[in-house]
Chains A and B, each alone.
Chain A
Amino acid sequence: MRLSTGGAIDRTKILNFTFDGKAYQGFAGDTLASALLANGVKLVGRSFKYHRPRGILSAGSEEPNALVELRTGAYREPNTRATVVELYEGLVAQSQNRFPSLKYDVLSVNGLLAPVFAAGFYYKTFMWPASFWEKLYEPMIRRAAGLGRNARLPDPDVYEKSTAFCDVLVVGAGAAGRAAAAQAARAGGRVILADENPPVSGAENVVYLPRTTVFGVYDGGTYGAAERLADHLPAGPGPRQRLWRIVAKRCILASGAIERPLVFGNNDLPGIMLAGAVEKYVSHYAVSPGRNGVLFLNNDDAASLIPVLTEAGINLAAVVDSRPKSSPAVRDAAVEASTALFAGSFIAQAFGGLAVTGVEITTSRGQTIKLECDFVAMSAGWNPAVHLTSHLDGKPVWDENIAAFVPGTLPPGMEVVGAAAGTGLNANIVPLWSVKNAGAKAFVDFQNDVTASDITLAKQEGFVAVEHLKRYTTLGMATDQGKTANVNGLALMAEATGKTVPETGTTRFRPPYTPVAIGALAGPHRGKNFRPTRRTPTHDWAAGLGAVFVETGLWLRAQYFPQSGEDWLAATSREVNAVRAGVGICDVTTLGKIDIQGPDAAAFLESVYTNSWANLPVGKARYGLMLREDGFVMDDGTTARLAEDHYVMTTTTANAAKVFQHLEFCHQWLWPALAVCFCSVTDQWAQIAVAGPRARDTLAKLVDPPFDISNAAFPYMAAAGLTISGTPARLFRLSFSGELAYEIAVPARYGAALAQALMEAGAEFGITPYGTEALGVMRIEKGHPAGAELNGQTTAHDLGLAKLFSRKKDFIGRALASREALTDPARPTLIGLKLVNQGDRFRAGAHLLPQNVPAVAAHDQGFVTSVAFSPTLGYWIGLGLLQNGPARLGEIIRVYDPIRNGDALAEVVSPVFVDPEGTRLHA
């Protein structure tokens, strides 16, 4: 019911909204909760387990009851608290957890099944038979007990992230927080004032972040905060929320206090609210929850509501003060308002169907009085909002004077002021943790439907430790983290066990203080923006030729270049044939490139590679193998010596960053005295492989004279700096394909021009661009191990590379690589596989078994690592790791792939299928 005057709302701005499809109006400045109350809507939801009618309990972010689904379609957000949803034009909200409608919820029959749903019901009721759990019990419980519905669509909103640094972060813009912020600003500090509420007037020299919840405290003075930029607006462009990481030298916590409900029969009926909330609705929103109220309290603070109601013309039928002797503050206010005061009395229970219609009072003399009313305001005292003080393991301490926990040990740099520190909360409280009554449910945790009797039950069943109490009853485990519930629950357990509250202890709070949208945590890093995309220098050139791209780590690489009508296999086979018969080019820029310089560069390479490097002449490249210290293979690649003290190393695409980090480790931590330095130049150099019998003919047209690339002057594994059309370049005679081949490196900005120049130079030889598929086919034809074989579980022995171990030096991995088990011939070792029936095909991952034995794990002797259709040979070939592999050449084994229905026979062959003598390579 809207009051005719007063409030901080703007009555000139009418806002239309709907709740459960029905149209209503409110004013600018309303929350959804205040607007619903203004329209006389008290019933807003159904409870979690029992489907009891629920209304609005609070006027803030602690709200456990009034949870609604906000907005529609992909924008739908469940479990938003109506008490903090600012009203906007066109707002659409739906109630939750009811079927078929809020007023007629068939599942409210759960209330009659209360014994079934009591504390620990999950564990007790649904134990047997176990197979019923997934099929029957869990779906049934999920339907019956629940909160809002997820939109089940990608989140269409946009989110931002931001970082801020300040001298002082003030959390909470109430009186204490604003004073602290102003003082800190006057002292010249950089001050951020963050507050979860809508903006009030700002402060001088203070960065004021309204609608911003500081939700977590992290190590090193780091705070997480969520700023709601557009939640109070209809959906539109621009970010919805911004996640702040605030690094503050000091933090002043002024988070205020949260009022506690009183625990009595049917205290969850719509219309029963916290006294402070009623006061806020009347004074701030000019809304009354009813015409005729009853105030139930155990402290002086709630007496301030009495004159507020009188002034607003709202009748107060009675004040019920549970203290044996009411205080002058309450007495005077009651007399002033001409309202009945029942001292030493209790509300035993409330009555009503979908809203409260009356209360039953037990007076100090034991009489029972029934009073009609349409709302109840209650106050059991205030809890300082200590949540952020305990995020770094701080333990709140009990303050007898206010019957509440106050901050104990604080995170470094934090101080607490105002009500959050317990200041000003001493209101002659006489704790009242629950009112005994016969039968009616008395709720402690409204959101999780935990009653006073659930806590008694937990005690009876031995779950007395606070952490056990919490988990057994689910007290405080709902989305509100028990902001209104925890202290009442702990105190009831203390009562039941005959201990004090401090002896009983407290659970500690964790971030987030209030729920944070996952979208805000993700920020802009979603989908393709989750990680950066790296493009090669020839990306646009390849795209222009119709290349299909594949993601390899962060890189996008050309996978194959289909011509019209070709599928991937036809395109790949054509590319392989073109390379083997003529010439092809492939961008290999993605290989890691590390420039290594210094007088000790050679000594450094000796330490990180298994093979020897000191004897590599200038102008030559060499294949190198790198191990981890545990003896397994880490990476491989070629390294060229460009000068006496200058090498350029390549790594595999996948391990480029890892190898670089490893080299830094070796240099900075293991051998810091070596005079060497290195730098990643992967992004600085474009590198293109030119492969095939006509590679030299093609290159000869581009290389500036007098550089001689004849086989005699520039043989296999040669390396040199030169110029190509005047551009500085590096040329390496390396081959991954097994053909006569080169890799040319030019500064990255010339990469696309180089590709274009090569295409023109090679046109007469039928030059063909090839992608990673053809690259992979040719390396399998040549038996070169790659990612599938360098899988972190293979040793040099397994890959047939043990001959690359130098005996004359120490290197990373040497000691443990020589362990017996890592050199056991019975280890699965690299072999080639050739199908007996050449029409068959097989797949990587298939198991290798002897013939004529049952296909069980005990007979598993290895697996297929790589498979390709070899256009050179005309059938499918593969590489695999097989026990005793090299000793079994010629043996027929079974390739068994039960998941994909593969079962074939294959001959064990050398992994080198094409040109085993290497004559093409050296041509």
Chain B
Amino acid sequence: MRIKCPYCGERGLEEFLYSGDATVARPRDGGAAATQEWTDYVYFRENPNGVHRELWYHNAGCHAWLVVTRDLRSHEIFGVEAAKNVALSR
């Protein structure tokens, strides 16, 4: 698999670490949120049969966290965005 890092260009899979689900969000008010909200965030994950948004880390490159939109069946990648930009726009 090859991922097009927005900073480094297209690179081989071995430079990246898969690092989690980009569709879950940390509860905003950390202290007050219910435990259920936290356990959902930390432990519960969807495994969609199709397109998914994932976090990848460019470990052997620029250290950017990336949001990769990928089809889990074909491994086709539809888009790669800097996680920081995604986070700032939510």
Chain A positions near chain B (C-beta within 8 angstroms): 163, 218-222, 245, 247, 392-393, 412, 629-630, 660-661, 664-665, 667-670, 672-673, 810-811, 814-816, 819
Contact = CB atoms under 8 A, between A and B. Distances in A.
A669 B87 contact: yes
Interface in B29-64: 29-31, 33, 35, 38-39, 41-43, 55, 57, 59, 63-64
Contacts of A661: 17, 19, 57, 59, 63
A630 B65 CA distance: 21
28 contacts: A163-B12, A220-B2, A220-B77, A222-B2, A222-B12, A412-B76, A629-B42, A630-B42, A630-B43, A661-B63, A664-B63, A664-B64, A665-B65, A667-B84, A668-B65, A668-B82, A668-B87, A669-B55, A670-B26, A672-B87, A672-B88, A810-B30, A810-B31, A811-B30, A816-B35, A816-B39, A816-B42, A819-B35
Contact of A668 (B17, B26, B42, B64): B64
A815 B30 contact: yes
A719 B53 CA distance: 44
Interface centre among A220, A667, A669, A814 (most CB of B within 10 A): A669
Interface centre among A219, A668, A814 (most CB of B within 10 A): A668
B19 to A, nearest CB: 7
A222 B88 CA distance: 34
3 A-B pairs closest in CB distance:
A810-B30, A220-B2, A219-B1
A810 B31 CA distance: 6
A814 B64 contact: no
Interface of B: 1-2, 12-13, 17, 19, 26-27, 29-31, 33, 35, 38-39, 41-43, 55, 57, 59, 63-65, 74-77, 82-84, 87-88
A630 B40 CA distance: 11
B1 A220 contact: yes
A815 B31 contact: yes
A623 B19 CA distance: 28
B76 to A, nearest CB: 8
Contact of A664 (B13, B27, B65, B76): B65
Tell me whether chain A's interface is mostly helix, strand or loop, or mixed: mixed
Nearest to B34: A815
A814 B63 CA distance: 26
A814 B41 CA distance: 14
A221 B2 contact: yes
A660 to B, nearest CB: 8
Nearest to A163: B12
Given A222-B1, A661-B59, A665-B65, 20 more contacts: A218-B1, A219-B1, A219-B2, A219-B13, A220-B2, A220-B77, A245-B12, A247-B2, A661-B17, A664-B65, A665-B57, A668-B64, A668-B84, A669-B55, A672-B88, A810-B29, A810-B31, A815-B27, A816-B38, A819-B35
Contacts of B33: 815
Contacts of A245: 12
Nearest to A669: B83
A815 B35 contact: yes
A175 B43 CA distance: 57
Nearest to B4: A220
A393 B76 CA distance: 13
Given A219-B1, A816-B39, A669 B84 contact: yes
A393 B33 CA distance: 44
Given A672-B88, A815-B35, A665 B19 contact: yes
Nearest to A661: B57
A810 B26 CA distance: 12
Nearest to B70: A219
Contacts of A811: 30
Contacts of A668: 64-65, 82-84, 87
Contacts of B63: 660-661, 664
Nearest to A679: B63
Contacts of A222: 1-2, 12
Contacts of A629: 26, 41-42
Contacts of A815: 27, 30-31, 33, 35, 38
A202 B18 CA distance: 42
Contacts of A412: 76
A817 B83 CA distance: 27
Nearest to A671: B87
A247 B4 CA distance: 14
B5 to A, nearest CB: 13
A670 B41 CA distance: 13
B57 A672 contact: no
Contacts of A669: 55, 65, 83-84, 87
Contacts of B35: 815-816, 819
Nearest to A220: B2
A661 B41 CA distance: 19
A218 B1 CA distance: 7
Given A219-B1, A222-B2, A664 B57 contact: yes
B63 to A, nearest CB: 5
Given A221-B2, A664-B63, A819-B35, A672 B30 contact: no
Contacts of B1: 218-220, 222
Nearest to A165: B10
Contacts of B42: 629-630, 816
A23 to B, nearest CB: 48
A245 B11 CA distance: 12
A312 B65 CA distance: 68
A912 B35 CA distance: 35
Contacts of B84: 667-669, 672
A214 to B, nearest CB: 17
Contacts of B64: 664, 668
B79 to A, nearest CB: 14
A531 to B, nearest CB: 13
B74 to A, nearest CB: 8
Nearest to B38: A815
A815 B41 CA distance: 11
Contacts of B76: 412
Nearest to A808: B31
Contacts of B59: 661
A661 B16 CA distance: 12
A814 B2 contact: no
Contacts of B77: 220
B57 to A, nearest CB: 6
B30 A814 contact: yes
Contacts of A667: 84
A393 B87 CA distance: 35
A888 B27 CA distance: 39
Contacts of B88: 672-673
A160 to B, nearest CB: 17
A810 B59 CA distance: 28
Contacts of A221: 2
B13 to A, nearest CB: 8
Contacts of B39: 816
